[in-house]
């Protein structure tokens, strides 16, 4: 069994799953720890949950790099009207106030 190393601690479950999905898409095997503790509780607000991400020692640097790029850039979307890039949390374009567009193909 390869050595594992803790990448992140203290994230909430939603965020941990987002990170896990991103890292796995980059070929990094991720183990979430802490979820088992949540089973019988069910009263803690999501943002207080304490979830840890563990990765293989050999993939730690790759995972760390990916996570940092995620934290700095974040997922973004491009305005269909003015083509400005917007943060994922914005519902309207910061530049022209166009609505975030769902792609109709």
Footprint on residues 46-85 left by Zn ion (CB under 5 A): 79, 81-82, 84
Residue 46 or 80 with smaller CB distance to Zn ion: 80
Taking alpha carbons only, the member of 41, 65, 63 closest to residue 52 is 63
Strand partners, 94: none
Give the range of 31-39, 42-50, 57-65, 91-99 binding Zn ion by CB under 5 A: 91-99
Residue 47 or 99 with smaller CB distance to Zn ion: 99
For the chain, the farthest-separated pair of C-alpha atoms sits apart, in whole angstroms, at 53
Is 96 an interacting residue with respect to Zn ion (CB under 5 A)?
A: yes
Is 93 an interacting residue with respect to Zn ion (CB under 5 A)?
A: yes
CB of residue 104 to Zn ion, shortest distance in Å: 17
Strand boundaries in the chain, DSSP class E: 4-11, 30-33, 51-56, 76-78, 85-87
User: Using CA atoms, how far apart are residues 38 and 49, in angstroms rounded to an integer?
Assistant: 8
Binding site for Zn ion (CB under 5 A): 79, 81-82, 84, 93, 95-96, 98
């Amino acid at each position: 069994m390869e050595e594992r190393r803790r990448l992140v601690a203290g994230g909430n479950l939603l965020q941990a799953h987002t990170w896990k999905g991103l890292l796995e898409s980059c070929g990094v095997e991720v183990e979430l720890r802490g979820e088992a503790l949540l089973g019988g509780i069910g009263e803690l607000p999501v943002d207080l949950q304490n979830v840890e991400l563990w990765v293989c020692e050999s993939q730690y640097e790759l995972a760390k790099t990916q996570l940092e790029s995620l934290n700095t850039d974040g997922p973004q979307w491009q305005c269909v009207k003015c083509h400005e890039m917007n943060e994922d949390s914005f519902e309207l374009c910061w530049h022209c106030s166009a609505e975030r567009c769902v792609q109709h193909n």
